[in-house]
Amino acid sequence: MKKICAVLCVIIAALFVLSGCGSSKESSQAQTSATAAEKAQDSGYDQTSPKDASWFNDAVFIGDSVTVMLDIYCENNPDALGDAKFICAGSLSYSNAQWDINAEGNVHPTYKGKQILAETAAEATGASKVFIMLGMNDIGIYGADGAVAECKKFAERMKTVSPNAKYYFQSVTPKMKSHEDEVIYNDLIKDFNTKLKKFCDDNGYKYLDIYSAVCDENGALPEKYCGDPEPEGQGIHFTNEACKIWVDYLKNNA
């Protein structure tokens, strides 16, 4: 009888421990989310929403060819993001954005007819808000972890040039299902985005999930939102409709 009681006591104690572990894990996750939100708020990010187009007058967008499409959309729709500036170029990445300005084969963007380093975007344009969407051209080469490592280095360079600017890191956007390949595919993009969000949470940057705003129920870019859905296309660039969704997301979440 004593042995039975002893066994029951051990089982009950174990249940309490397991219950405590679950509560501790949930508490830890909640605390992590709260800490990330506090860091963003403590860093002076504007928490109000929605924001009107004029709020973006002192913003600059850094990006690759996906952001080039947003630039074109905003040129044709002045009420989209106000007087926001764009420092973007096809094939730009977190990695090659760090190349020397005179490096052979560089793809550095131009501003007012002169090639500049993306890390100087805020300084060159006078912007106080910097929106970055890079990584698509990194993940196929470095993988998700390596791409985030390049992002960290690029972020440090930006902060050195413009320490008082507010930095908003946008997720990499999805690819059409029919265009996924072994180099760049949506699960890899999502893995990178998860790691990018953690980097932002850990460092007090604002993370913006553009991926979820435009993907379908399978996590892919719908054909109706894709500007290059043809077999010879890349299946990643946006239509005007997708750019409008992007703009609306920014106004409600930046």
* 120-151 residue pLDDT tens: 999 999 999 999 999 999 999 999 999 999 99
Cα separations in angstroms, 83 against 63, 108, 209:
17, 22, 23
pLDDT of 11: 40
Nearest-5° Cα angle at 238, 247 to 209: 50
Q: What is the pTM of this model?
A: 0.84
Q: Domain map of the chain by residue range?
A: 53-253
Span 33-72, pLDDT tens digits: 445 545 545 557 888 889 999 999 999 999 999 999 999 9
Q: Please report, as a single letter, which amino acid is at residue 120.
A: T
Task: Name the residue among 88, 161, 155, 89 with its Cα closest to residue 126.
Answer: 161
| Whether the Cβ atoms of residue 165 and residue 127 lie closer than 8 Å to each other | yes
CATH of 53-253, one of 3.50.50.60, 1.10.8.50, 3.20.20.80, 3.40.50.1110: 3.40.50.1110
Among 19-28, 158-167, 204-213, the range scoring the smallest mean pLDDT is: 19-28
| Whether the Cβ atoms of residue 140 and residue 189 lie closer than 8 Å to each other | no
> What is the C-alpha separation between 21 and 182, in angstroms, rounded?
39
> What is the C-alpha separation between 9 and 91, in angstroms, rounded?
64
